[in-house]
A and B are shown apart, each in its own frame.
Chain A
Amino acid sequence: MVQNYVFPATVSEAVTFLSTNRGKARIIAGGTDLMLELQDGKNTCDVLVDLTQIAELKNITEENGYIRIGASVTHAQASKSDLILKHAPALAQACRKVGSLQIRNMGTIIGNIVTGNPAADAAVALAALETTAEVTTLEGIQTMPLEDMYAGVCLSCIDSCCQVVTHVKFPVKKKNQGSAYLRMEQRKALALPMLNVSAMVSLSGDTFEWARLIVAPVGAGPQHALDAEEFLKGAAVSDATIVEAGKLARNQAMFRSSAIRGSKEYRRGVLPVFVERVLHAAVEDARKA
């Protein structure tokens, strides 16, 4: 049962609150998942440390070649941000798919990662963007690649009782680079993704310099389709290579049958089509830039 609710004004104050409460205080940002977990008894804490009043965590900025997103930036905010639309259309597209508009007005991008859900829309897009997180503890600030933030399916490495993920950042988009996000869903709103994919490509003329291709939910956190990524390195940008990449994406896509998301056979069957579509969209974005 929550006994106290505090609004620190700075990150260091937040970390101090966590430390003085020795594991009984927990960070809250959007709270759209945490409040339900607390109500259902799946999570517990005595003190909630609310990040939403900390000025430095409210913004999306461009700094030293990176786009940096603060811990209280919501999905709605990111989906309309000029910086995100320019540098990371994949993230803007993913943010428009989270929950409902009401949830997007509350839920945060960083919360989307810290909850650990492998098919969380924003996290899947961020995985293609080479995202790193800045994690603050009493000892200092640590930088952590997004891939290292998952301890298992729906399990985060982040302990919100002693760590604060203050920002995530990814490199600004260069010329000839593009990204895209796509999900399969039963309805256009308020639906869990049956599967989701994201891609970032870097083109050199008519060939792929490299491509990052993410598939979920097929493991702990968003997963790289490694064989397809390797195949696309230096490959021609053509319908044939993109079709082949779609087939290769199956190699790392070990779907499990799920009553909510669909059978593994079905999702394995449709995956190549989604990979093709997301690669075409990323190429289109790269050529636009």
Chain B
Amino acid sequence: MTNQTISFSLNGEIVEIAVSPSEMLLDILREKMHLTGTKRGCGKGECGACTIIFNGKAMNACLIPAMRAKGADIQTIEGVESAHGLHPLQQSFIETGAVQCGFCTPGMIMSAKALLDKNKSPSKDQIREAVSGNICRCTGYVKIEEAVEDAAVRLRASAVKGGDL
């Protein structure tokens, strides 16, 4: 087994870790880096609970070979909050009631963030497409859509004010 020490950017910080060629990124994040906000749901890329942002795109961490993280820019739910407090998406999810049991929430927020990072005025269809790979068994999705729309409004407002959120 050829273990390799790889380095990558995780939530804005360069990290180094030894990984084995058969390990998956989700296991590295959860078991070795103890970032358990990224959930293991189906383990097959069908539920979206393990969604992270990998080089700017939403992906299922359960399907990414850990070795592929080498040199990548990875964001997990733990990196979404800033020194100023919760991210507008997190705030909107709470205030809109888009969180019930909470298991899908980190994945939902990462999928929504991947969208809002590129498009701060998404249409309802674009929001639906962005979170269509994330399964929620509690909310019925309406509140989640509302939360993402609300977060987009907050982000646009903060951009106007020159804020950095």
Contact = CB atoms under 8 A, between A and B. Distances in A.
B90 to A, nearest CB: 20
Please tell me the size bucket of the interface on B: 20 to 34
30 contacts: A1-B1, A3-B1, A5-B2, A7-B70, A31-B63, A31-B65, A31-B68, A32-B45, A35-B24, A35-B63, A36-B45, A36-B63, A47-B21, A48-B67, A50-B67, A99-B133, A100-B46, A100-B133, A100-B134, A101-B58, A101-B129, A101-B132, A102-B45, A102-B48, A102-B111, A102-B133, A103-B45, A103-B133, A189-B132, A190-B135
Interface string A100-125: 11110110000000000000000000
A106 B46 contact: no
Interface string A121-161: 00000000000000000000000000000000000000000
A100 B130 CA distance: 9
Which of A32, A100, A103 has the most chain B CB atoms inside 10 A of its CB?
A100
Nearest to B70: A7
Interface string A20-45: 00000000100110011011000000
Nearest to A28: B65
Interface of B: 1-2, 4, 21-22, 24, 43-46, 48, 51, 54, 57-60, 63-65, 67-68, 70, 111, 129-130, 132-135
B67 A5 contact: yes
A3 B58 CA distance: 28
B148 to A, nearest CB: 14
B133 A190 contact: yes
Interface of A: 1-5, 7, 28, 31-32, 35-36, 38-39, 47-48, 50, 52, 76, 99-103, 105-106, 188-190
Nearest to B58: A102
Given A32-B45, A35-B24, A4 B2 contact: yes
Contact of A2 (B22, B59, B132): B22
Nearest to A46: B21
Given A32-B45, A190-B135, A105 B57 contact: yes
A251 to B, nearest CB: 35
A48 B60 contact: no
Given A50-B68, A102-B45, A189 B133 contact: yes
A28 B65 CA distance: 10
A105 B58 contact: yes
Nearest to A76: B57
Nearest to B4: A5
